[in-house]
Amino acid sequence: MTHMRPYRVMGILNVTPDSFSDGGRFLDAGAAIAHARQLLAEGADILDVGGESTRPGAEPVPEHEELARVRPVLEGLAQARIPASAQISIDTCKAAVARTALEAGASIVNDVSALRADAEMVGLVAESGAQCCLMHMLGEPRTMQRAPGPQYTDVVDEVKAFLEQRLRFAVEEGIREQRILLDPGIGFGKTVEHNLQLLARLNELASIGPPVVIGTSRKSFLDRIRARGASETEPAGTEDRLPATIASNVLAYERGASVLRVHDVAAVRAALAVAAATLDACPTARGMTQTS
């Protein structure tokens, strides 16, 4: 029996007071660790711990504050009995925060700046042998969605060129290509239409080679699409975006995504299991390729 390309689910653990969906809920280390256990119980393969919000309009967080938020959580996770197969990811652009996380047992650095924000980051990742996720972002969180809005000639071509360039840089600086993941940055300096183009043509980004990470979970563009279809003017709350999150993740997987970064692990994992089984029943469907 053949099997389709594997996938991993990355559970989001925001240790912040201002993240767009669950800001403040897990700022307490005890609450964060309890939620981490829940995410793992629901089937998370990776826990992505972040102490600085990257929502549109977010202000930068000083290094000492970010460390104060994530250190007790990382130390708690190191002491907790979590599955050996589960990985810890640190969502940060700061080398000092990444170093602390790696020393505490993290094995992935999820850098939304794609190694551009801190000159020491690339050397740290290369020396440590950690995995690294490189993400595309137009501008930075504080300004990326300001009027007149993000502008691209062809968003997929431009994001692909950027990711290829950052991949070359990382490899030239000593990070093994096999340790790199790529993220097109859904919602990071993109309009609804840009996000849809990236999802629809995700196979073009997957063709670069490294695993593709997709993060659409509970993002506002999903609700704008839903509201548009229902002729509504008021968006729903973030908790009501699960159906749209599931749809976008299933389609992203079908088009080549390997890591799905989500808040609702159990629901998305169930949907992906059905999608994978369906595609496995017809390996040539929609141009999908088989893996041994």
User: pLDDT digit string (tens) for 97-139?
Assistant: 999 999 999 999 999 999 999 999 999 999 999 999 999 998 7
pLDDT on residue 60: 83
User: What is the number of residues in the chain?
Assistant: 292
Q: Which letter, b or e, does each residue of 38-49 get, where b requires 16 or more Cβ atoms within 10 Å of its Cβ?
A: ebbebbbbbbbb
94 is a catalytic site residue: no
Catalytic choice (99, 160, 218, 219): 219
Identify whether the C-beta of residue 245 lies closer than 8 Å to the C-beta of residue 222: yes
Is-catalytic flag, 190?
Answer: no
Predicted structure pTM score: 0.90
User: What pLDDT sits at residue 292?
Assistant: 35
- Residue range 241-246: mean pLDDT, rounded: 94
Question: Model confidence over 60-85: pLDDT tens digits?
Answer: 889 999 999 999 999 999 888 788 88
Cβ-based neighbours of 234, under 8 Å, separated by 6 or more: 227
- Highest averaged pLDDT of the listed ranges 53-57, 160-164, 279-283: 160-164
User: Which pLDDT belongs to residue 291?
Assistant: 41
Domain spanning 8-282: which superfamily? Dihydropteroate synthase-like (3.20.20.20)
The CA-atom distances, in angstroms, between 141 and each of 6, 52, 184, 208, 228 are 31, 11, 15, 26, 25
pLDDT, tens digit (0-9, with 9 covering 90-100), for 6-35: 999 999 999 987 554 554 566 688 889 999
Q: How far apart (Å, rounded) are the C-alpha atoms in residues 108 and 47?
A: 10
- In this structure, the number of other CB atoms found within 10 A of the CB of residue 139 comes to 12
Would you give the distance in Å from CA 168 to the centre of its chain? Answer: 21
Residue 134 to residue 167: CA distance in whole angstroms: 8
**Per-residue pLDDT reduced to its tens digit, 207-217:** 999 999 999 99
Would the pLDDT of 240 be above 90?
no
pLDDT at residue 286, rounded to an integer: 53
Give the model's pLDDT for residue 290.
40
Residue 289: its pLDDT value, please? 44
| Confidence bin at 143 (pLDDT 50/70/90) | low
pLDDT top residue among 241 and 257: 257
Measured CA to CA, the distance from residue 240 to residue 103 in angstroms comes to 37
Question: Which residues make Cβ contacts (< 8 Å) with residue 183, sequence separation at least 6?
Answer: 110, 112, 133, 134, 135, 136, 212, 213, 214, 215
